[in-house]
């Protein structure tokens, strides 16, 4: 037979994951650590930006930003790329899994000495993709904007990696994949680390 306290037991069980999640969030907050996992869009960037700005306002102690992302919206990536240096506190980025497209642009927002990745991280650079629809005149405007965007992003990648603009143009014409050692040689990553205590 059902007991009168079954509902209470169910409520306690259902609240356990929520309590665990809140505990994790508190631990991340205390460690000044931010996670950017999954597609980059306005919602994910709003959350990460809010955390970075809050930590920056709180103190000048370093912030850790873990990135595992296939990329996404270019302008959202631009926003975080700029914010990494805007917040004042040093932001140490740690790549894990994959850091692709707009995520790679965000990664390069950190100063070279603050760029880390784990041993199995993959990086991917490529040109921005267009998806415009509409009248021919609008498509023409969009095409010009994509060309300008591509040049701007390529110049950022060249500046932040030390590669020539001409090489970046060639490499980003198609999906350009790099493993950790290749990314280090290319100038994307400075430190390949396997343990938390290696992030200085």
Does residue 121 lie within any of the structural domains?
yes
Does residue 159 lie within any of the structural domains?
no
Identify the CATH number of the domain in which residue 87 sits. Answer: 3.90.226.10
**Reduced 3-state DSSP string for the chain:** CCCCCHHHHHHHHHHHHHHHHHHHHHHHHHCCEEEEECCECHHHHHHHHHHHHHHHHHCCCCEEEEEEECCECHHHHHHHHHHHHHCCCCEEEEEEEEEECHHHHHHCCCCHHHEEECCCCEEEECCCCCCCCCCHHHHHHHHHHHHHHHHHHHHHHHHHHCCCHHHHHHHCCCCEEECHHHHHHHCCCCEECCCHHHCC
Q: Which of 171, 194, 25 is nearest to 104 (CA)?
A: 171
Can you give the pLDDT of all 200 residues of the chain as single tens digits?
Answer: 444 455 555 555 557 677 777 888 899 999 999 999 999 999 999 999 999 999 999 999 999 999 999 999 999 999 999 999 999 999 999 999 999 999 999 999 999 999 999 999 999 999 876 545 556 566 677 778 888 999 999 999 999 999 999 999 999 999 999 999 999 999 999 999 999 999 99
Which residues are known catalytic residues?
A: 101, 126
In this structure, the number of other CB atoms found within 10 A of the CB of residue 157 comes to 23
Does residue 165 lie within any of the structural domains?
no
Does residue 184 lie within any of the structural domains?
yes
pTM for this one?
0.85
Does residue 12 lie within any of the structural domains?
no
Q: Which domain holds residue 77?
A: 31-126+173-198
What is the number of structural domains in the chain?
A: 1
Does residue 15 lie within any of the structural domains?
no
CB 114 within 8 A of CB 66: no
Does residue 118 lie within any of the structural domains?
yes
Does residue 75 lie within any of the structural domains?
yes
């Amino acid at each position: 037979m059902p007991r009168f306290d079954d509902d209470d037991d169910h409520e306690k069980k259902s609240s356990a994951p929520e309590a665990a999640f809140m505990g994790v969030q508190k631990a991340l907050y205390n460690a000044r650590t931010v996670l950017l996992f999954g597609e980059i869009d306005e919602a994910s960037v709003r959350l990460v930006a809010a955390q970075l700005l809050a930590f920056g306002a709180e103190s000048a102690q370093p912030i850790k930003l873990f990135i595992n992302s296939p990329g996404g919206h270019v302008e959202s990536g631009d926003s975080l790329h700029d914010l990494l240096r805007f917040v004042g506190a040093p932001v140490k980025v740690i790549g894990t899994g994959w850091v692709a497209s707009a995520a790679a642009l965000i990664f390069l927002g950190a100063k070279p000495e603050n760029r880390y990745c784990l041993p199995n991280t993959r990086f991917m650079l490529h040109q921005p993709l267009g998806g415009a629809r509409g009248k021919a005149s609008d498509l023409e405007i969009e095409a010009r904007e994509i060309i300008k965007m591509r040049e701007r992003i390529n110049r950022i990648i060249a500046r932040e990696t030390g590669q020539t603009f001409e090489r970046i143009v060639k490499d980003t014409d198609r999906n350009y994949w790099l493993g950790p050692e290749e990314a280090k040689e290319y100038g994307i990553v400075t430190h390949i680390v396997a343990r938390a205590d290696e992030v200085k």
